[in-house]
Structure 1
């Protein structure tokens, strides 16, 4: 019997009995009031008259009517750029000690998103909440004595004047509580290595010295790391190196596209727990094993609004129209898709984070991430969201008994007609024409708008299968490896031409 693990598990159980769940709607109302109160004397708060909003009987409605939507480009151009010019009290009191670098899925240039001490406190608090829910997953007591492999970006942050910069995973890992450092792997020294390949090499070399019970990171990069560790030790699977591995806390993207390839690296199934940690904050986490949905964090520094996912509200660049209606948590409905809008303790206001979500359980405020507004493929009315694409690719995995962890698609005009041109990342030898027909059929069944488009302006589907490694090398060439970097699922014609040129170059070199 693991005595220490039993004590830790008992303390977590006791905490859960003492700490009661807040009323979600009331908690959100309180969060908005605290945000407005704290920021009312900033330049942003003065311009949008936060003090007057606070004096109204319905601050949520007045806030929505007064403050416009912002995506990163707009809030940076109008407000956040001032922080880099030495100003303070811009959209949040003082100056942020950190900026989260996020190239996201859109290109080489990094976004610089402010991260305040208040936000770091909120992330830590939510992290503790998430750990406390692990007892819901029927894990043995000795699990709570094992080490956790957190595979994020480098913790060697860049000094830029009076602040530091790095990806949010690196910022968070560099601020972990002292009591957690004994459990945290790969440890401070290896985590500071900026080069992803070198960091993974060090992890592989040291892997057998650690007793890893849990993994945490983005699935694509976690999978690559596990393959390197397995290859280095000439093992059949990762459980030969880490026999006590029982949990993978996945974040950043949907896990389902990686499920089949990820599971092939294991000797037996492990518990998969989804989390939603973005550069802008820790938004949600999976609280219970009966669902793959995540519970929104409603009482910890983030105010949520939800724009109905309607093509009429989405601009070609993925931003949303000024007249798009926003709903509060009290107004959302189950199984409806929404564009997520957040206001935070880092001074993001009515901010388009870029993700779309669907409520699976309104009473529990549980969501699933369904895609990205920039990955919404609506050329000639096909109205394809990423979750529909993921579902179709999973159908291909079943039909052709293969693993397809990566894909990207573009609507291309060929001889005056539109086609959806797909690249699927797989190590399996497949007949591209048969895969294209199966993919087309799966999308027709999943999406009536796609079916209508295929009967009219969308002439067909083209598929090419390539090695998944080309997707990772593309990210390395355009952004960098590891961390928060994710592959763009939908490309415009210009980017797709660059992508195809990159593929041709890679295939010639190999």
Structure 2
């Protein structure tokens, strides 16, 4: 047993005990966060504009602070980016996390001195929760890799600017620096494919025990390693690899291919990080869902998804949500985001403690004919179908409507890149359609009513999604392909690459 695993176990138990305390008092935990945020927010321009000095309850807050997305909050953010203090949070932000928006172009999300612990401590606690529950800690003694963006930061009006993963890299504590991979110099390489080859150079002969990243990019890392070593599985290259930490996408569509590449099942921990805040993490290997972080500087609100686009939607606190109901996630944080819609939808699967699943994006859906198919439904349909065709291995997929095909009724088209095709693609396609009908009654009605015809699989050549992401300047790092969209922009781009 090494030093890190020896000291990691008692520390993990301590953190688990602290977590249990605040998680068992959800309303009280959120009330404390709310009171602190309002007190600090009252010192800002936003707070003065929204009468924070008169806010004494959540009802007062709802009357004074509307729900906003980035575009609607942008006037305040622009002042903050200009270097003006006390705009959204007291002082100036320490960092601006640079992200790509679909409608806003480049987005700058503030990270303040007060919000930095939310990002790093939450990631640390996700791993410690696993140690506390399982007693397994040996992986802490080996080399740890996080496939991330560049830690190189620019400056804008005196504020450091960079990708979230690069910013967090600067806050890795000294005791982990010695076993963190890859090197800082390699992490700074911008071109993903060049960077990936350098990462392999540095890691292929090391004692890798924990690997973290978005599943499709980790798969690419594994594929490139296997191209070098021939028929070896990853478990033969990294015999002590025992922990996979991931976030950003549902792991299930990638699990079969990743485990085939590894050559054995690996324990995993799911996280829910975003530039706007670290929302939740998997705290149990036996219970479903991710523990929502109610004491970490974020006050959460939830809007029933069917009301999201209404003029005056219902806004709920944590103790008011229902199980198995989809909500749009709204955050108020010590980074200075107020009534902020991050665009995700979630569903709670437990109240003791509160655990959630990420079910999709509020604006990522297909509803060409009123079916309103969401990400959770297409992923469940795919998962259930793959279970009936166990030989199938997926690399990536996305779904788009075709409302005006050259012949026949309109339909949904599933663009799929297989690592291993099903033995009977036509039967797979038919089953996939049936599974989607089971997931979405509106889709079922449209199929049975002959408004839509059954879905069609568009089989893509190898590396289609890699080439698509490269064409968009989004290859590697924390970028991911939308699971579905209500237009054909991605579909048309993929068609052009065939």
Q: CA deviation at 1:138?
A: 2.0
| Distance of 2:62 and 2:362 partners within structure 1 | 20
Alignment of structure 1 residues 303-318 onto 2, 5 Å = 303-310=299-306, 313-314=307-308
2:117 equivalent in structure 1: 121
- Of the structure 1 ranges 244-253 and 183-192, higher mean CA displacement relative to structure 2 is found in 183-192
Deviations 1:407-449 (A, max 9, x none): 1122222169532122112134566654432221111122222
- Of the structure 1 ranges 163-172 and 243-252, higher mean CA displacement relative to structure 2 is found in 163-172
| Distance of 2:134 and 2:48 partners within structure 1 | 50
The alpha-carbon distance between structure 1 residues 301 and 74, as it changes in their structure 2 partners (threshold 3 A), is: same
Q: Secondary structure at the match of 2:360?
A: strand
2:86 equivalent in structure 1: 89
Q: Secondary structure at the match of 2:369?
A: helix
Let me know the Cα RMSD of the aligned residues.
Answer: 2.2
Which among 94, 97, 100 is matched to residue 100 of structure 1? 97
1:480 equivalent in structure 2: 474
Kindly indicate whether residue 403 of structure 2 is the aligned counterpart of residue 413 of structure 1: yes
1:317 equivalent in structure 2: none
| Distance of 1:123 and 1:504 partners within structure 2 | 38
Q: Residues 149 and 215 of structure 1 are in contact (CA less than 8 Å); yes or no, is this contact kept in structure 2? A: yes
| Distance of 2:19 and 2:133 partners within structure 1 | 18
Q: CA deviation at 1:389?
A: 0.2
1:425 equivalent in structure 2: 417
Alignment of structure 1 residues 17-166 onto 2, 5 Å = 17=17, 21-22=21-22, 23-53=25-55, 56=56, 59-76=57-74, 78-103=75-100, 106=102, 109-166=105-162
Which among 408, 430, 437 is matched to residue 437 of structure 1? 430
Which among 441, 451, 475 is matched to residue 448 of structure 1? 441
TM-score, with normalisation over the residues of structure 1? 0.91
Alignment of structure 1 residues 492-507 onto 2, 5 Å = 492-496=486-490, 499-500=491-492, 502-507=493-498
Which among 253, 260, 269 is matched to residue 257 of structure 1? 253
- Of the structure 1 ranges 457-466 and 371-380, higher mean CA displacement relative to structure 2 is found in 457-466
Q: CA deviation at 1:42?
A: 1.0
The alpha-carbon distance between structure 1 residues 257 and 494, as it changes in their structure 2 partners (threshold 3 A), is: closer
2:456 equivalent in structure 1: 462
TM-score, with normalisation over the residues of structure 2? 0.93
2:207 equivalent in structure 1: 211
1:491 equivalent in structure 2: 485
Kindly indicate whether residue 365 of structure 2 is the aligned counterpart of residue 360 of structure 1: no
Q: Secondary structure at the match of 2:185?
A: helix
The alpha-carbon distance between structure 1 residues 251 and 468, as it changes in their structure 2 partners (threshold 3 A), is: farther
Q: Secondary structure at the match of 1:381?
A: coil
The alpha-carbon distance between structure 1 residues 377 and 492, as it changes in their structure 2 partners (threshold 3 A), is: closer
Q: Residues 340 and 353 of structure 1 are in contact (CA less than 8 Å); yes or no, is this contact kept in structure 2? A: yes
Q: Residues 479 and 485 of structure 1 are in contact (CA less than 8 Å); yes or no, is this contact kept in structure 2? A: no
| Distance of 2:145 and 2:305 partners within structure 1 | 36
| Distance of 1:139 and 1:234 partners within structure 2 | 35
Deviations 1:203-256 (A, max 9, x none): 111223421111111111111112112222335211112111111111111111
The alpha-carbon distance between structure 1 residues 98 and 151, as it changes in their structure 2 partners (threshold 3 A), is: same
Q: Secondary structure at the match of 1:472?
A: helix
- In the alignment, structure 2 segments of 5+ residues that lack a partner are none
- In the alignment, structure 1 segments of 5+ residues that lack a partner are 315-319
| Distance of 2:216 and 2:489 partners within structure 1 | 21
Which among 396, 399, 420 is matched to residue 388 of structure 2? 399
Which among 189, 196, 207 is matched to residue 193 of structure 1? 189
The alpha-carbon distance between structure 1 residues 65 and 235, as it changes in their structure 2 partners (threshold 3 A), is: farther
| Distance of 2:325 and 2:14 partners within structure 1 | 36
Q: Residues 332 and 362 of structure 1 are in contact (CA less than 8 Å); yes or no, is this contact kept in structure 2? A: no
Q: Residues 89 and 336 of structure 2 are in contact (CA less than 8 Å); yes or no, is this contact kept in structure 1? A: yes
| Distance of 2:18 and 2:274 partners within structure 1 | 29
1:167 equivalent in structure 2: 163
The alpha-carbon distance between structure 1 residues 15 and 398, as it changes in their structure 2 partners (threshold 3 A), is: closer
1:347 equivalent in structure 2: 336
Alignment of structure 1 residues 289-308 onto 2, 5 Å = 289-308=285-304
The alpha-carbon distance between structure 1 residues 19 and 291, as it changes in their structure 2 partners (threshold 3 A), is: closer
Kindly indicate whether residue 242 of structure 2 is the aligned counterpart of residue 246 of structure 1: yes
